[in-house]
Structure 1
Amino acid sequence: MRVFNINKAIGLASSGVEYAQVYRRELFAGIPAVDDYYVFTDYIPTNLSVFTDRLGFRRDQVLWIYDLVAGRTTRPSTLTVDDYLARVGQPHEVAPAIPEYTDVALTGSPVRYRIRTVIGAIVDRVETIVGDRIVRIEHYDETLHDIEYFHDGRLVRRVFYTDDGRVAAEQFYRNDEILRTLITSASPLYTQRLRAGRERPVTFGGDLVLEGRAQFFQLVFAQLFSRPDDVVIVDRALDVIDGIYPVIGAHRLYSIVHAEHFDPRQLEDGVLLWNNHYEFVFTRPDLVDGFIVSTHRQQEVLEAQLAERMPEGSFSVARIPVGFVAAPASSPEYERFALVTASRLADEKHLDVLVRAVAAARATLPELRLDIYGEGNREPLLAVIEETKSQEFIRLMGHQKLEGLLGPYGLYVSASTSEGFGLSMLEAIAEGLPIVGLDVDYGNREMVESGVNGRLAPHTNAEGDAAALADAIVEVLTDAPLDELRAASLRKAEEFTAAQVRQLWEDLLFGGAPC
């Protein structure tokens, strides 16, 4: 059985969705009958392998839609800066290199090249700049992959090449959206047609002409989902699912719900509004074989909400945790007042609230310190750290693998209000850390039994949350038996072992006990 996991993008500051795919890949590796692939649909300007290698994906499992259109495979660039300079062919001057790029100015010309590099002075892409405007960008793996063209600072066209240098496809853009795609006879998609029931692509000058993003996606997916037992799992449905619905045929299709799936503020008016990331699939659940959520509570809520709108039996909601743990184990020694959190440095994680909470709690517990693991936009967070004069006891640790790292900390803390599951919280309880977080759905309430393996503080607003978290931190570290809380976290983590979560996937894919 081939299982295609569809995602939009991946980057340096990967989200919980990408880490969920990493966990899933490890689980599927233990199911011999599953041959799993990870498909990315957004145009990604940096060579995709830079990000997928970092997360441990095998290159033969990674399928980028813009590789498929040109018959290419996922692989890193091999072109060096010196290789590129040898191709310039005109008198030029090379500016001193800096870590991210090398500038090359053509003698007597307003044209210069900015050679963007990745590790080891390997060329990722080359920007052609006239005056102060980028007019084109060449992207490389082992050969020229594609060229982007710009007019007045806006993307207008991309050309994609086969390994042997033939044009496989051209895409034209308006307001950064795909307007039209031309597929040439050099592309493996050329002989593919949309399946029955949909308008077939027209031809112009021998090329296939596809209008808009959805028709382009449909052509690629129609080729990809070619075996009767192929299964499709969509991790991010927005701007993707309309390219899958028309060609899914008899293949099974599952949509994973990674976040809060509705806007709870609308319930006060008696109106339920779906999160726009899931609106398409929730309005047509009959076209999906099932939804997959991570927690018992979200399964209960979503089933009830769909039942109010849809006939009985027209939808299915399975619960499969997005992460798993090996053998839970606590560090025999830990630093009681050392706090830790891990997440992307993004507004929705409310790390500014957490900084204020720790700064406030430190008035009672002056030994407190906090390490923040993760990457993203550092500047707003650094501003709050400076404002609260927290530089001496709050550190930004960057992106690191957390396994085996968390145990020596005394407490895991979080100010997030929107954890669909909470992978970093799972990693924390697997190493015996108690958790202090806010009393919100879904991941917090799945991972934390307040008073048993941590505390859930009341959620109100930013100011109130900071005060409530500060109180909870002080309470846990002064009044609670920390060793008992740590033992309770380990027991909770036993619910999420690899064997248990893998069995849930086997039940879904091959039948068996209800999920």
Structure 2
Amino acid sequence: MGKMRGEMRVINFNIGLGWASSGVEYAQAYREKIFRNLPVEDYYVFLGMTKENMASMAKNIGIPSEKIIWVYNFFSDIALQEAKMNLAQVLLEYGVATEFVMEPRNKDIQVVNNKDRNEYLRVYFKKDLDLVERVELVSHGNLIRKDFYTSTRWMSEFYEPVDKKAKLTLREVYNEDRGIALAEIVNVADENLNTYLLDDRIYFNKAELIAEFVRRLQPTASDVLILDRATDIAEPILLNKEAAKTGFVVHAEHYSKNNTDDEHILWNNYYDYQFTNIDIFDFVITATELQKVKLSEQLEKYNNKIPKIYAIPVGALEQIKPVQERAENHFVTASRLASEKHIDLLVKAVGQVLKDGYDVSFDIYGEGSQRKMLEDLIRSLNVSENVKLLGHQNMASLYSKYGLYLTASKSEGFGLTLMEAVGDGLPIIGLDVPYGNQTFVVEAENGYLIPLSDDDEQVVKQLAGRIEEFLGMNDKTSFHQNSYRLAEAFTVEQLQKKWLDLFEELTNADTI
């Protein structure tokens, strides 16, 4: 990870990355695109363990693998890369001979069975390809080991049977010569207390390992460190950042409204450490101007501090795409299918609109734990012909098909899909909640905001009423045009200016 002359390193810290990534990871992917034409050298650090191929997941979310720094790969000389070995190459490592039986492949899993020795290999392939990502060794019904592959075996996990369950006890990360680059002895009770062996030195917990990791990054005064997540990782980073400028991003509601009064505030647990130690940080980033104002007032009132806070949206629009014709009675939402998103309220509202005689359709994009519940709800309301669950899709070319975006989330720190929707000129109907809805919806100009209520029936009734009001408009052009105008503040060019202003202020602070 070299540094080019004249370029600032911007190192963004996170914990995990997965196939069902949250808005934090997507915000980092947007940031990477924004930084591509800026004079910075940006990296994205992940400090947690994932059992999936990190390079593949980075590619899935849109961050080039060469910009990913993963603590579990960092100490090895094996490059971060996608799977490259086929089954025949991998099986050579296990001495698989003719007595092994190849079971039929089931999607991306194949079992290589040795019935005489009562053991088998369970092989996991890269999706839809013949390249191996992981092999599990099972003996006498017990999981013994998991081996992970790219161009070679780069990591193994060792398990022991405890109370008839496989318990992870040891993790080894390898070099090209199969020497051990990093060993992790697992504390079953608390993985933050795992022990690590690196270069013949023992690190007695995860914080010590992170501290060593940060030291090896060799941060300097020209570097900027950004914490997108900070739980359990902030302190070792701050203690070893040297003269680098350090800040954090607020990705969600930062306090509990119901547990805050005139004298005391209850910060969101994810930000409590940062706000308690606000003096250590050089800057704070919120996604909206509304949250910046609220947070500034609260830090001054409750902490007697006035930190540098910048409002920089976590997403950006590469272009604003005018649409000539659209189906005004065709509605859309894109979201994790999770309880806090309250997609069920939208389904019920659309069901009421259909019951009232309107010819409308509603497409729901996304996956999540509430899919089964939503499927059952759609069937029970007898709206299966009009309301569809369409799973994960690349939304870039889809918004233009629709006439209206619906949301029922009761908390939205920013709302990337809201930004994308207005970028395609969609009006929005949602709840009057901070901060995304209030940023992207101007009442009666490009949509409607419904008062927040604990009475779900009332919310459904008002959602349906506003949808019908929208449908009853003779000319919806002004709503679409107002969304386009609002979107102009969220283009890549506008966000590049905001980031450059931040970097310039941080640089100038050293000369004052």
Moved more, 223-232 or 22-31: 223-232
Q: TM-score, normalised by structure 2?
A: 0.92
1:35 paired residue number: 41
Quote how far apart the aligned CAs of 1:512 are. 8.6
User: Is the CA contact 1:172–1:179 (under 8 Å) kept in the aligned structure 2?
Assistant: no
Is 1:460 aligned to residue 460 of structure 2? Answer: no
**1:463 Cα offset (Å):** 3.3
Q: Partners in 1 of 2:360 and 2:299 — Cα distance?
A: 45
Counterpart CA distance in 2 for 1:463 and 1:290 is: 42
Indicate whether 1:22 and 2:16 are aligned. no
User: Which one of the candidate residues 177, 196, 219 is aligned to 2:191?
Assistant: 177
Between 1:50-59 and 1:381-390, the stretch displaced more is 381-390
Structure 1 position 423 matched with structure 2 position 416: yes
Deviation at 1:352, TM superposition (A): 1.9
What RMSD in Å do the two structures reach over aligned CA positions?
1.9
Partner of 2:332: 340
User: Structure 1 residues 269 and 311 mapped into 2: Cα distance closer, same or farther (>3 Å)?
Assistant: closer
Structure 2 counterpart of 1:154, one-letter code: K
Q: For residues 338 and 365 of structure 1, do their structure 2 counterparts lie closer, same or farther at Cα, with a shift above 3 Å needed?
A: farther
C-alpha contact (below 8 Å) 2:316/2:491 kept by paired residues? yes
Secondary structure, counterpart of 2:136 in structure 1? strand
Deviation of 1:325 (Å): 1.5
Whole-Å Cα distance in 1 between the matches of residues 247 and 367 of structure 2?
30
2:16 equivalent to 1:9: yes
The equivalent residue for 2:476 is 482
**Any conservation in 2 of the 1:342–1:372 contact (CA below 8 Å)?**
yes
Equivalent pairs: percent with the same residue?
A: 33
What's the CA shift for 1:513?
12
Mean Cα deviation higher: 63-72 or 474-483 = 474-483
Which residue, 343, 356, 361 being the options, matches 2:353? 361
Mean CA deviation greater in 284-293 or 365-374: 365-374
Structure 1 CA distance for aligned equivalents of residues 361 and 236 of structure 2: 48
1:404-457: CA deviation from partner (whole Å, max 9, x where unpaired): 321120100011112111111111111110000100000000000010000011
Q: Is the 8 A contact 2:221 2:245 kept in 1?
A: no
Give the corresponding residue for 1:97: 105
What is the match of residue 323 of structure 2?
331
Give the distance between the partners of 1:464 and 1:243, measured in 2 at CA: 48
Give 1:437's aligned amino acid: G
Q: What secondary structure is seen at the aligned counterpart in 2 of 1:20? A: helix
- In the alignment, is the contact (CA less than 8 A) between 1:60 and 1:73 conserved in 2? no
Distance 2:33 2:499 in 1: 12
| Matched residue type, 2:303 | M
Q: Does 1:277 align with 2:270?
A: yes
Q: Distance in 1 between matches of 2:230 and 2:198?
A: 28
- Structure 2 counterpart of 1:149: 158
| Structure 2 CA distance for aligned equivalents of residues 226 and 299 of structure 1 | 28
Shift of 1:182: 3.2
User: For the Cα contact (< 8 Å) 1:507–1:513, is it kept in 2?
Assistant: no
Answer yes or no: is 1:507 the counterpart of 2:501.
yes
Whole-angstrom CA distance in 2 between matches of 1:134 and 1:389: 46
The TM-score, its normalising length taken from structure 1, stands at: 0.91
Do structure 1's residue 376 and structure 2's residue 368 form an aligned pair?
A: yes
For the Cα contact (< 8 Å) 2:196–2:209, is it kept in 1? no
- TM superposition shift of 1:136: 1.6
Aligned to 2:4: none
Q: Is the 8 A contact 1:154 1:176 kept in 2?
A: no
2:486 maps to: 492
Amino acid at match of 2:15: K
What amino acid sits opposite 2:52 in the alignment? T
Tell me the alpha carbon deviations over residues 288-327 of structure 1, each in whole angstroms, 9 at most, x when there is no partner: 11110011110011111111233444x2211001112133
Seen in structure 2, the aligned counterparts of structure 1 residues 131 and 475 have a Cα distance that, compared at 3 Å, is farther
Aligned equivalents of 1:70 and 1:63: distance in 2? 11
Equivalent pair of 1:365/1:474 in contact (CA under 8 Å): no
| Paired residue secondary structure (2:448) | strand
1:312-323 mapped onto 2 (5 Å cutoff):
312-313=305-306, 315-323=307-315
1:286 to partner: Cα distance: 0.7
1:244-269 deviation digits (Å, cap 9, x = unpaired): 12112221111000110111111258
- In the alignment, what sits opposite 2:139? 130
SS in structure 2 opposite 1:73?
Answer: coil
The worse-fitting range, judged by mean Cα deviation, of 212-221 and 326-335 is 326-335
- Write the letter of the residue equivalent to 2:196: L
> Given that residues 116 and 123 in structure 1 are in contact (C-alpha distance below 8 angstroms), is that contact kept between their aligned partners in structure 2?
yes
Alignment of 1:184-199 (within 5 A): 184-185=198-199
Q: In 2, distance between residues paired with 1:365 and 1:339?
A: 16
| Equivalent residue letter for 1:167 | I
Unaligned ranges ≥5, structure 2? 1-7
Counterpart among 47, 58, 61 of residue 53 in structure 2? 47
For the Cα contact (< 8 Å) 2:83–2:131, is it kept in 1? yes
Tell me, in whole angstroms, the C-alpha distance in 1 between the residues paired with 2:459 and 2:88: 54
The residue type equivalent to 1:78 in the other structure is K
Paired AA for residue 115 in structure 2: T
